[in-house]
Amino acid sequence: MISDSITNASATAAPSARDFGKKKRTNRTAKLKQSKLGLRREQWLSQVAMVNKGGKEEMDANRKPGSEKSDQRDRPVVNLDGHQRGEEDDNNSGANRHESFMESLSNSPNSILSGMNSIPNFSSSSSSGSGGSCSGNITEEEDADDDGCLDDWEAIADALAADDEKHEKENPPEFSEEHEHENIQQSACESDVAVSRKQKSNQAWRPDDELRPQGLPNLGKQRSSPVMNFHYSSVAVPSSCPICYEDLDLTDSNFLPCPCGFRLCLFCHKTICDGDGRCPGCRKPYERNTVKVETSVQGGGLTIRLARSSSMFCRS
Amino acid sequence: MQTSRARLFKEYKEVQREKVADPDIQLVCDDTNIFKWTALIKGPSETPYEGGVFQLAFAVPEPYPLQPPQVRFLTKIFHPNVHFKTGEICLDILKNAWSPAWTLQSVCRAIIALMAHPEPDSPLNCDSGNLLRSGDVRGFNSMARMYTRLAAMPKKG
């Protein structure tokens, strides 16, 4: 999985690197900052993965306790992550989007944002590698949060540019050494920028090379598992009825008879209502009113019909 | 009638598919009657039943899964919640706490859990229950181990 994430990251980053090739001079500093941010994130990720088993929010809070801007900083990163994944149905369309994004930003003085751009690259590719089938759901969820934040990009970019001045001084010495090295290497093989970028992403792991391979999968699990659980409990619909094992059709899968979220087909619900009338999931008696309310809350012609039919079941 | 048969057939296929998943449970359907099942379960480790293999008989009623299957031990076992002579099991999920979402496989798991955590306050085997209730864990363990060796282990030599 780790190698997957590397190749993904370099694949998505490659077009943007080509774009850099046109304006190497002007964007040298931007690249530096980008790699710095990438490094810092990598180190922070592995630290968190080793030390802190907590959730993502905790990690965000830990990231930069010193600066006030860190919250503002982190939030757009996360949202951008979700946003890009939304566009990123496959690698090509995602790459195109990166390119246009970069072009529009590279002219502006706030080219630090291109550095920010690399962070979502890493996180989105790694988590889509590990998250697997649930990535679509994540996208929906995070897209909903996006709308407010993305309007404010210009202001955030300004704030970040100002913020980065501070960060440069705060950088620990071992990082600056690392950057020197990278800088030399970049100038050595400027003709093939994509290759140097690939090496650079390998180098970003060097400070804690031994920790990194362990840390990445752990993090992937951390990130994906709460989301998976969340969707399993509330959204995911089993493909077959857990009582009769018959496949759930469209009507059945929209039928939510109990607040505990246990789903079953209408036939089994009827037979249970005729009998002891308790939900197989939580063993609490089905509340007949709740059935109607639950279904009508969901709205739509289909579910209204459902409400009627289920009330008929209960009367019989 | 039709639902229980269909469901049992699906469970049978599930059991065949996940045979390796749970090595402690071996669930077999009767060749001629899908409503009769037998199961072999391994005694849980760190209990006096460790090392024993216990045979269970399932009799599935017609309204299954709305009604629980009737399960009893065919192998003799010294356990507070199992009748020593008939093998009847006192387990809430086999009585009023049954849920149609349970399967024969999950019933087996529940029985293994019951073997590891006996409940001496609702005993079917009063001798066993009294030993535990009076705090004579050592006495209970040695009795249970003895019967495990006698009844649930392959004879040696």
Question: pLDDT (tens digit, 9 = 90+) per residue, A216-225?
Answer: 444 433 444 4
**Structure tokens, A12:** 């998505």
pLDDT, residue A163, reads 60
What residues of chain A, 283 to 312, have a C-beta less than 8 Å from chain B?
A: 283
Chain B residue numbers with beta carbons less than 8 Å from the beta carbon of A245 are: 6-7, 10-11
Question: Cβ contact (<8 Å) for B99 and A283?
Answer: yes
Residue A71's pLDDT band (cuts 50, 70, 90): very low
pLDDT, residue A214, reads 52
Q: How far apart are CA A243 and CA B101, in angstroms?
A: 6
pLDDT, residue B89, reads 95
Phi, psi for residue B57 in degrees, rounded to 5:
-115, 125
Q: How far apart are CA B71 and CA A80, in angstroms?
A: 56
d(CA A269, nearest CA chain B) in Å? 11
pLDDT, residue A288, reads 65
Residues recorded for chain B: 157
Q: How far apart are CA A28 and CA A128, in angstroms?
A: 30
Give A255's Cβ-side CA count (13 Å radius): 24
- Mean pLDDT of all residues in chain A? 54
What's the Rg (C-alpha) of chain A?
A: 25
Residue carrying the six token digits 């650079």: A200
C-beta pairs of A247-250 under 8 Å, 24+ apart in sequence: A250/A302
Q: Which residue of chain B is at minimal alpha-carbon distance from A282?
A: B99
> Helix, strand, or coil here: A279?
coil
Question: Cβ contact (<8 Å) for A245 and B10?
Answer: yes
Q: Which of B66, B67, B92 to mutate to test the interface with A (most CBs of A within 10 A)?
A: B66
d(CA B122, nearest CA chain A) in Å? 22
pLDDT, residue B114, reads 95
Q: Where are the domains of chain A?
A: 2-207+220-231, 250-314
Is the per-residue pLDDT at A208 higher than 60? no
Q: How far apart are CA A300 and CA A155, in angstroms?
A: 41
Per-residue model confidence as pLDDT tens digits over A252-295: 888 888 888 888 888 888 888 888 888 888 888 887 654 444 44
Q: How far apart are CA B151 and CA A150, in angstroms?
A: 71
Question: Cβ contact (<8 Å) for B65 and A271?
Answer: no
- Of A37 and B83, the one with more pLDDT: B83
Give CA torsion, residues A92, A98, A101, A103, to 10 deg.
-90
For B101, which of A242, A267, A275 is closest by C-beta distance? A242
CATH class held by domain A250-314? alpha beta
User: Which residues on neighbouring strands pair with residue B56, listed in sequence order?
Assistant: B39, B73
* Helices and strands, counts by H and E, chain A: 15, 0
Question: Cβ contact (<8 Å) for B6 and A268?
Answer: no
Give chain B's domains with CATH numbers.
Answer: 2-152 (3.10.110.10)
- Report, as an integer, the average pLDDT of B74-83: 95
Chain B residue numbers with beta carbons less than 8 Å from the beta carbon of A267 are: 3
Is the per-residue pLDDT at A38 higher than 60? yes
CA dist A24 → A21, A37, B12, B149 (Å): 5, 19, 66, 80
Is the per-residue pLDDT at A87 higher than 90? no
Q: How far apart are CA B96 and CA B108, in angstroms?
A: 17
For B66, which of A245, A246, A275 is closest by C-beta distance? A275
**Structure tokens, B137:** 């864990």
Maximum mean pLDDT: which of A76-90, A103-117, A185-199, B64-78: B64-78
pLDDT, residue A61, reads 45
Question: Cβ contact (<8 Å) for B97 and A281?
Answer: no
**Structure tokens, A245:** 């094992």
Q: Mind spelling out the 3-state secondary structure of A59-71?
A: HHHHHCCCCCHHH
Tell whether B11 is within 8 A of chain A (Cβ).
yes
Residue carrying the six token digits 């990130």: A223
Per-residue model confidence as pLDDT tens digits over B101-157: 999 999 999 999 999 999 999 899 999 999 999 999 999 999 999 999 999 988 765
Chain B residue numbers with beta carbons less than 8 Å from the beta carbon of A270 are: none
Per-residue model confidence as pLDDT tens digits over A106-133: 444 444 444 444 444 443 334 333 433 3
Q: Which of B1, B3, B11 to mutate to test the interface with A (most CBs of A within 10 A)?
A: B3
Which ipTM was obtained for this model?
Answer: 0.76
Non-local CB neighbours of A287 within 8 Å, separated by 6+ positions: none
User: Which residue among the candidates B29, B90, B108, B126 is catalytic per the annotation?
Assistant: B90
Active site residue B108: no
Chain A residue numbers with beta carbons less than 8 Å from the beta carbon of B7 are: 243-245
Tell whether A270 is within 8 A of chain B (Cβ).
no
A88, A124 in Cβ contact below 8 A?
yes
Counting one residue from A and one from B, how many pairs have CB atoms under 8 Å apart? 32
Question: Cβ contact (<8 Å) for B6 and A244?
Answer: yes
**Structure tokens, A158:** 């300004």
Per-residue model confidence as pLDDT tens digits over A12-28: 444 444 454 444 555 56
Query: What percentage of chain B has pLDDT greater than the value 70?
Result: 98
Q: How far apart are CA A46 and CA A218, in angstroms?
A: 9
